[in-house]
Structure 1
Amino acid sequence: MGLLTPLTSRFRHPAQVVVAAFGLTVAVGTALLALPIATTEGVSAGWLAALFTATSAVCVTGLAIVDTESHWSVFGELVIAGLVQAGGLGIMTMATVFTLLVSGRLGLRARIAVQAETKTLSMSDVRHVLRKVVVFSLVCEAVAATVLTARFVTGYDEPFGRALYLGVFHAISAFNDAGFALWPDSLMRFVSDGWICLTVAIASIVSGLGFPVVFELARSWRRPGKWTILTKITVWVTAVLLLLGTLAFLTIEWRNPKTLGPLDEGGKVLAAFFAAVMPRSAGFNTLDVSQMLPSSWLTTDLLMFIGGGSAGTAGGIKVTTVGLLAFVVWAELRGESRVNIGHRSLPNSAQRQAVTITALGVAIVGIATYALLALTPYSLDQVLFEVVAAFGTAGLSTGITASLGTAGHLLLVVLMFIGRIGPLTLGSALALNRRARHYELPEERVIVG
């Protein structure tokens, strides 16, 4: 919180603090990656490559216009890892604070006092919660790094120092849903390695659920009836998307000789599950995305657009938003005046927020797709995939990222930035900017549809 003190004193709304903090971090990262020491050749990477990579790292996206391992030196890779860590922790801590601001409590042992008039928090309680977020993140990364390091040593005969470096780098990248890998083919060489694939996938899933959900599950996983609406929707929608995504990739790519075709049945299930997890925002791939069938691209588009849970490192419009919209539609189809989830009623404000975030997300993706189609010679399938990957901070690509040109790269930079902070800041702004109206206007029925 010490870093945020000057920002909070200058900007009065939390959304302004987020934009300023992430913008400043991107600027610092760009400056560091533009140094000659950051590249293997000892010459400056140029402002565009530095800006694009720094934005991708801070926004934990994983899209790249240069190969991470061959282009960047150890210094450059450490800068990228640091930016990913800063971006991931920043997202989780800021999202947690906004969750507290909106709800007034976290459902954990720490209690946050919300002053309705000034929208301020008890700083001692905030520090306690944020400390738990940081410790939780670092412990998860340490566990993932240990497993990956051990596997690189025992399974691939890597020297311990190199294995440790690879393990730590990819643990940070996986837990923060960044998708940066130190191999030109991402994780394709490990397509049948359950130790590596499942470790990366589990780290991504846990961080993508979000801090409030993870700790509520840890406390009351045996009593799902007492879960909050946030936890219920996040868990069940995530499970459904992972299951449907896995089945979709298995069905579509089963006989594709360039993806799942050459693998045995166990390998196909593992690869399909990994392909279903990664669009949540993780960005790694064990299958050649460019060789997938168009229907698999569309499936990935949908998963990337939805993303993961609120208050986590995943991008997209969030599974919570999609879950709320599903209940809204169901209630409308049944002719019910109120939207009920379990034994709770959903406020009208939450319904409007879900509709607003989804509508703006669709609009942003649509406009950006149209613009990128005009700027590049690529097909609609490829361009849409690239746009959704940037907006959903997923980092997956059909292989056209590096050849989009300066205008295309700058468009993706803007999309990554909007996609990272947009849903978070917009959601908090809508929730916190409530105005009391002391009158009601007469209703007028409008034909819809």
Structure 2
Amino acid sequence: MALLGLGIAISVGTVLLMLPVARSGAPMWPGNVPVAVAGPSIAGGAPLSVALFTATSATCVTGLIVVDTATYWSTFGHAVIAMLIEIGGLGAMTFAALLAVYVAHRLSLSQRLVVAQITGALTMSDMRGFVKRIVRMALIVQVVLAIPLVIDFYSRSKSLGEALQWGTFFSISAFNNAGFSLETDSLIPFATDPFIILPISILIVIGGLGFPVLAEIVHAFKTRKKRRWAWSLNARLVVHGTIGLILTGWLLITLLEWSSLSQTGQYSAADKLLITLFTAISPRTAGFNSMDIATQSDITWLVTDILMFIGAGPAGTAGGVKITTMLVLVFLVLTEIRAGQAVQLFGSRIGRSTQRAAITVLMIAFSLVVGATAIIMVLTPWGMDAVLYEVISALSTVGLTTGITPQLPIAAQLIICALMFFGRVGPVAVATVLTIRPDTKLYELPKERPIIG
């Protein structure tokens, strides 16, 4: 169902973006950067390859682009992109919620009560109300945090209509971790403006928490006067992991890029801290950038690769293998090193099926990254650093780029599209298969222990 819905959205979006009304008439990039195109086009409209890539990137809430979003598309085109982003972001959250209740019917009573604690629903009728609450909350968050953006853009000599358009677009793009920007240089022109950077950062983090954590936050807020809320293991992992990754990334990027930012002579210490903070938040997995990625050091690229690959919380608008996956694997390794009998987190034991699922997700993602990087390196003249960055950005639906995406040949563009599509639906599909498959066996094979290491 998710595959079909996403495919329909991409198809409709592609057709709409091919219409002449979706184009502004400007060149693909300021300065006429060469872009490989293929397929038919309606007179005055975007070529098929451009429309397909943009629609896929928007629906998969990635943000990678082959044409300049700010100048190439018209107001109608921007509206289509925003619509696709909202469908891709909230649609995935809704599907994850429905999956949770479907899976709950296959669990024991105690496990179903855990699902009910997280979602507040045990039946499909309950879930309809729950989904409405989540979508309502998501829209409220986007509207509220769009207000400071609109005010700031209006103060920058934009008309009220333009300010509303920009504020709304950036709010939608940020909450859904999409990274599409109405500015050619993403957020670089606003790098030192806290009234733009901070609301967008908050939107990125909230959207990246995932629907189960958001649901718990809403439920805890509503019942705060009645009883103390007992947070689920998932919420604890996501929140602690989010804080830890942001602070670690902020520290590393600040140390790595401080001297580079100082060389320009135009940033105060507070400005540099704001820039590096946003540079640590955006890879998980929004795709905005407030500093030129091409000028960053190779080590900063590596740090960003890791942040992008991990991503944010499950069942939300973000991509990556997810914080919970990595934390389960980290503690699995620590348990083996300590010769422990069970993986324990926050007073709970992690089941072996969950451990196997985490390993499966990691290995599939790692295999796709290695394979796609190798193929694109064969098809293009770029080195591994740039190609690896692009591949991880696509698979984790991030949208950050070293600048090579518009210059990729059509074959490489299609690979990137496939990575974005799998990055959006793959983790949910894998989780579904691993969860609903029958696990009862009438026999077991003899156990043996091959030599490891």
When normalised by structure 2's length, the TM-score is 0.90
CA distance in 1, matches of 2:348, 2:261: 49
CA distance in 2, matches of 1:354, 1:225: 27
In the alignment, which residue of structure 1 is the partner of 2:200? 200
Contact 2:17/2:77 (<8 A) preserved: yes
In the alignment, which residue of structure 1 is the partner of 2:255? 251
CA distance in 2, matches of 1:327, 1:372: 34
Q: 1:395 aligns with which of 395, 399, 403?
A: 399
Structure 1 position 111 matched with structure 2 position 121: yes
In the alignment, which residue of structure 2 is the partner of 1:359? 363
What is the deviation of 1:38? 0.9
Change (3 A) 1:312 1:106: farther
CA distance in 2, matches of 1:258, 1:289: 16
Consecutive unaligned residues in structure 1, runs of 5 or more: 1-16, 113-121
Structure 1 position 133 matched with structure 2 position 137: no
What is the deviation of 1:439? 2.2
Contact 2:119/2:216 (<8 A) preserved: no
Contact 2:174/2:200 (<8 A) preserved: yes
CA distance in 2, matches of 1:285, 1:369: 23
CA distance in 2, matches of 1:123, 1:431: 18
What is the deviation of 1:28? 0.8
- Give the letter for the 2:217 counterpart: L
Sequence identity percentage: 41
CA distance in 2, matches of 1:298, 1:422: 24
What is the deviation of 1:438? 2.6
- Give the letter for the 2:349 counterpart: S
What is the deviation of 1:24? 1.2
Q: 1:345 aligns with which of 343, 349, 361?
A: 349
CA distance in 2, matches of 1:386, 1:69: 21
CA distance in 2, matches of 1:422, 1:177: 17
Contact 1:249/1:296 (<8 A) preserved: yes
Structure 1 position 442 matched with structure 2 position 446: yes
What is the deviation of 1:338? 1.4
What is the deviation of 1:259? 8.2
CA distance in 2, matches of 1:255, 1:180: 29
Contact 2:283/2:304 (<8 A) preserved: yes
* More off after superposition, 162-171 vs 97-106: 97-106
Secondary structure in 1 matching 2:184: coil
In the alignment, which residue of structure 1 is the partner of 2:231? 227
Change (3 A) 1:199 1:257: closer
Consecutive unaligned residues in structure 2, runs of 5 or more: 26-42, 105-111
In the alignment, which residue of structure 2 is the partner of 1:411? 415
> Which runs of structure 2 are paired with 1:71-86 in the superposition (5 Å)?
71-86=72-87
CA distance in 2, matches of 1:171, 1:26: 21
CA distance in 1, matches of 2:97, 2:310: 20
Structure 1 position 32 matched with structure 2 position 16: yes
CA distance in 2, matches of 1:259, 1:292: 13
* More off after superposition, 317-326 vs 218-227: 218-227
CA distance in 2, matches of 1:262, 1:445: 61
Q: Deviations over 1:8-49 (max 9, x none)?
A: xxxxxxxxx111111111111111111111111271111000
Contact 2:120/2:130 (<8 A) preserved: yes
CA distance in 1, matches of 2:389, 2:381: 14
Contact 1:253/1:261 (<8 A) preserved: no
Secondary structure in 2 matching 1:279: coil
Change (3 A) 1:101 1:328: farther
What is the deviation of 1:320? 0.7
What is the deviation of 1:345? 1.2
In the alignment, which residue of structure 2 is the partner of 1:332? 336
In the alignment, which residue of structure 2 is the partner of 1:5? none
What is the deviation of 1:328? 0.8
Q: Deviations over 1:254-287 (max 9, x none)?
A: 0115888642111111111100111011111110
Q: 2:381 aligns with which of 377, 381, 384?
A: 377
In the alignment, which residue of structure 2 is the partner of 1:94? 95
Contact 2:98/2:124 (<8 A) preserved: no
* More off after superposition, 219-228 vs 92-101: 219-228
Contact 1:101/1:432 (<8 A) preserved: no
Contact 1:259/1:287 (<8 A) preserved: no
In the alignment, which residue of structure 2 is the partner of 1:70? 71
Secondary structure in 2 matching 1:372: helix
Contact 2:118/2:213 (<8 A) preserved: no
Secondary structure in 1 matching 2:319: coil
Contact 1:57/1:178 (<8 A) preserved: yes
- Give the letter for the 2:449 counterpart: R
Secondary structure in 2 matching 1:328: helix
- Give the letter for the 1:388 counterpart: I
CA distance in 1, matches of 2:342, 2:381: 48
Secondary structure in 2 matching 1:340: strand
- Give the letter for the 1:244 counterpart: T
When normalised by structure 1's length, the TM-score is 0.91
CA distance in 2, matches of 1:259, 1:85: 39
Contact 1:301/1:388 (<8 A) preserved: yes
- Give the letter for the 2:121 counterpart: R
CA distance in 2, matches of 1:428, 1:263: 48
Q: Name the count of aligned residue pairs.
A: 423
Secondary structure in 2 matching 1:136: helix
